[in-house]
A and B are shown apart, each in its own frame.
Chain A
Amino acid sequence: MTMYDSDDLESNVHPLAMQPVRTVVRFRLPSLRWALVFPVAALLAAGFLTGTGYRYRPFAVMVSPNEDLSEQAATTTDARASRGELRRLTASLSQRVPRGRYIVIDRTNNKLYLRQDDKVVLEASCSAGSGLVLREESGKKRSWIFDTPRGRYRVLSKTKNPVWRKPDWAFVEEGQPIPNNPADRIEYGTLGEFALHFGDGYMIHGTLYERLLGRNVSHGCVRLGRDDLRVVYDRAPVGTPIYVY
């Protein structure tokens, strides 16, 4: 055990350590300058956020259709517009709207609508193109994209108990060789009871996989459930317009 006297201790310790510890707590009132700066900054920030962006007003307030007719009339492109012109335009527009029934296909949400004028006669769940890509590894190195094409079509023909003549991609997809004999391409029952052809090999037809309706699974055709297909087949004659979007 080492003993130190008080002199030894004082000589070995750092002089600053011997200073008495003083804790000074000062309470200060914020200066007037800071008292102003903080609220102003907060106000500016809030003002910036709430005052920058878009000021919305009801549509009717922003547009008044009958306001200043003469000015609007002066700016219209066709100064010779008259009742006759109005009739011509109305007729041109109405000619574009199909009379009777037409089919609308929402290829993304997998819905088919049979419409008559402004009314929906049938709303059905369908399956449109999967959007998948298939590439041929050998041979001609072709590739296919399985989309249902957008646009305006017509029912070109209708078939009962359709037979599927398998195209080349069906064999490539299955990893099978493409047959030379056309008879080897024929498949029965795959397309359901009916088919409505709308061009380029695309059809509205039935399916063996009704549980997949509502999903994008087809190779571009539009698959329908048995009951809905029967309604469409019965009510959409050849020539019925088809709109796909």
Chain B
Amino acid sequence: MPSTGRLVLPLAVALLCACGSPSPSKTTSGTATEASDRIAAARLGRLLELAEGKEFYLVYEPGSSHVRLMYQGVTLQEFAVEQASVGVRRLLYIEHGAPKRWEDRIWDDGKLDPERKVERREIIPPDPADSEPEEVVIPPTPEEAIPSPDRFLVRFAGGLVVEIVGDFDDRADDGLLGWSFDRLSALVDEASSVLFRAETDEMRLRLVIDGQAAHRLYRSLPEPCRFAVHLSAPAG
């Protein structure tokens, strides 16, 4: 029969070891929390950098499925995103990966494609000697003045293109011919983008939003603008 002294010593050593060093699971959990905090801080830091800037910016939040037009930290307009997808370049089925950590960057110098053309007309003052009443001209509505495409791109310096696609559920169906034409023109646009704009169109983020909202955004998006993705805080 073993003596009590021979049992106590290993037990005491085991107890000391258990108290003296943290358990592996606790360490992992602590590191994960710290890492999660740092990532959350980096993401908030990006938002703060955008808010401190002088430019307007778009923020896509996958967590809430919204893309927001913002200025100095204030939401000016928000658009519900129905569908979001990321497109990577491919040439004859050979894919190029998306730029590393593209979602952790601030993208600058966003410009619209097709370009938004605003006509600046000049006022001709009436001749005081002319007694005839001048003709009253009703100016066009914004929809008439700036025709908006159903699908447009915001091209950022460094290779990201945000593709805004308007969803028109209520629009009369153009039939198979209309669909195939749209599809073909999109294919040709994408192919030419890959072939001739490899430097500037490295990847695309396609956001499908309501059609009327897409038209409004095209008409009023200030240029140049910035862009960032804001992912929700990682689980700690």
A79-B38, A86-B44, A212-B139 known; A53 and B76 CB under 8 Å?
Answer: no
Q: Is the CB of A93 within 8 A of B44?
A: yes
Q: Which residues of A contact B71 (CB under 8 A)?
A: 152, 243, 245
A62: CB under 8 A from chain B? yes
A48-B92, A56-B85, A81-B38 known; A104 and B77 CB under 8 Å?
Answer: yes
Cβ contacts B102-132/A at 8 Å (1 or 0 each): 0110000000000000101111011110000
Considering the complex, which residues of chain A in the window 63-105 have a beta carbon less than 8 Å from any beta carbon of chain B?
Answer: 63, 65-66, 69-70, 72-73, 75-79, 81-83, 85-86, 89-90, 92-93, 96-98, 102, 104
Minimum distance in angstroms from B214 CB to a CB of chain A:
12
A73-B35, A97-B74, A245-B220 known; A66 and B191 CB under 8 Å?
Answer: no
Minimum distance in angstroms from B164 CB to a CB of chain A:
14
Q: Which residues of B contact A243 (CB under 8 A)?
A: 71-72, 74, 76
A92-B48, A109-B216 known; A52 and B194 CB under 8 Å?
Answer: yes
Q: Is the CB of A85 within 8 A of B41?
A: yes
Minimum distance in angstroms from A169 CB to a CB of chain B:
9
A69-B39, A81-B38 known; A135 and B90 CB under 8 Å?
Answer: no
B69: CB under 8 A from chain A? yes
Interface stretch, picked from B5-13, B18-26, B93-101, is B93-101
State which of B44, B69, B104, B123 has its C-beta within 8 Å of the C-beta of A173. Answer: B123
Considering the complex, which residues of chain A in the window 41-59 have a beta carbon less than 8 Å from any beta carbon of chain B?
Answer: 47-59
A83 and B66 alpha carbons, distance in the complex (Å): 27
B200: CB under 8 A from chain A? no
B14: CB under 8 A from chain A? no
Q: Is the CB of A69 within 8 A of B35?
A: yes
Q: Is the CB of A216 within 8 A of B145?
A: yes
Q: Is the CB of B87 within 8 A of A50?
A: no
Q: Is the CB of B74 within 8 A of A131?
A: no
Q: Is the CB of A98 within 8 A of B74?
A: yes
Q: Which residues of B contact A82 (CB under 8 A)?
A: 34, 37, 41
A17 and B56 alpha carbons, distance in the complex (Å): 84
Who on chain A is nearest to B235 by CB? A66
Q: Is the CB of A57 within 8 A of B85?
A: yes
B51: CB under 8 A from chain A? yes
B contacts with A, residue count (CB < 8 A) = 77
Considering the complex, which residues of chain B in the window 199-228 have a beta carbon less than 8 Å from any beta carbon of chain A?
Answer: 203-206, 216, 219-220, 222
State which of A54, A59, A97, A133 has its C-beta within 8 Å of the C-beta of B84. Answer: A59
Q: Most chain-B Cβ atoms within 10 A of its Cβ — which of A50, A57, A63, A107?
A: A63
Q: Is the CB of A109 within 8 A of B187?
A: no
A76-B39, A106-B220 known; A65 and B44 CB under 8 Å?
Answer: no
Q: Which residues of A contact B47 (CB under 8 A)?
A: 93
Q: Is the CB of B191 within 8 A of A49?
A: yes
Considering the complex, which residues of chain B in the window 122-161 have a beta carbon less than 8 Å from any beta carbon of chain A?
Answer: 122-123, 125-128, 138-142, 145-146
Q: Is the CB of B128 within 8 A of A175?
A: yes
Q: Is the CB of A70 within 8 A of B31?
A: yes
Who on chain A is nearest to B207 by CB? A59
Q: Which residues of B contact A172 (CB under 8 A)?
A: 125
A82-B37, A89-B45 known; A133 and B187 CB under 8 Å?
Answer: no
State which of B104, B146, B234 has its C-beta within 8 Å of the C-beta of A66. Answer: B234
A66 and B236 alpha carbons, distance in the complex (Å): 9
State which of A52, A76, A108, A118 has its C-beta within 8 Å of the C-beta of B142. Answer: A108
Can you list 8 A-B contacts with CB-CB less than 8 angstroms, sorted by A residue number? A50-B187, A53-B191, A70-B35, A72-B35, A72-B38, A76-B39, A108-B219, A175-B125
Q: A61-B86, A72-B39, A73-B36 are in contact. List 15 more A-B contacts (CB 8 A).
A: A51-B90, A54-B204, A82-B34, A86-B41, A90-B44, A93-B51, A97-B74, A152-B71, A174-B126, A175-B127, A212-B139, A215-B141, A216-B139, A243-B71, A245-B76
Chain B residues at the A interface, C-beta cutoff of 8 Å: 31-32, 34-42, 44-45, 47-48, 51, 56, 62, 69, 71-77, 84-93, 95, 98, 101, 103-104, 118, 120-123, 125-128, 138-142, 145-146, 187-188, 190-191, 193-195, 203-206, 216, 219-220, 222, 229, 231-232, 234-235
8 cross-chain pairs, A with B, having the tightest CB-CB distances, nearest first: A96-B73, A53-B190, A54-B87, A73-B35, A81-B41, A62-B86, A59-B84, A89-B44
